[in-house]
Amino acid sequence: MLIGMRFLHGFAAAAASVVINALMRDMFSRDEFSRSMSFVALVMTIAPLLAPLLGAWVMNWFSWHAIFWSIAIAAIIAAALIALYIPETLPKQHRQRFSLRVTFSQFISLFRARRVLCYILASGFSFAGMFSFLSGRAFCLYRTTWYSIRPIWLVLWF
């Protein structure tokens, strides 16, 4: 169950990073888009580095279950704010009904494009390296301190 929910969490996070690019392209002029995307890139770079600190703080005061509850609450708040404050940017005459078949055929056509596949692999491997380090460092620190370190110190040592 935990692995399945973490998969859905990762899928939603990946979708959000793609949707924000399209949404900002629709909402901002070229200059505003560049400034806004630099801010989004900053947030998307810093967030994975700050998340363990927040998680360790929550786990220090509560149980590890509270980390997932806080993520769920943040997601509900974010979804409500998005629904209330971000309008649909695609004009009605260009909207299409959702079709799983069309979606998968478009994904397949993207994966057949060599340049797109190279970008996907480069981005995927760089994030895999970063997240491997972020997730593996806790184990290494636990082993080197003979399992006596508190979770908050794992983050602070980072």
pTM over 0.85, yes/no: no
The pLDDT mean for the chain works out to 82
Given a contact cutoff of 8 angstroms between Cβ atoms, the answer to whether 10 and 128 are in contact is: no
Q: Among the ranges 29-38, 47-56, 134-143, which has the highest mean pLDDT value?
A: 29-38
What single-letter amino acid sits at 83?
Answer: A
Measure the CA–CA gap between 79 and 84, rounded to whole angstroms.
Answer: 9
pLDDT at 132 over 90: no
Q: Which of 61, 59, 40 is nearest to 51 (CA)?
A: 59
Residue 48 CB contacts under 8 Å (≥ 6 apart), including other chains: 130, 131, 134
Dist. CA 90–CA 69, nearest whole Å: 33
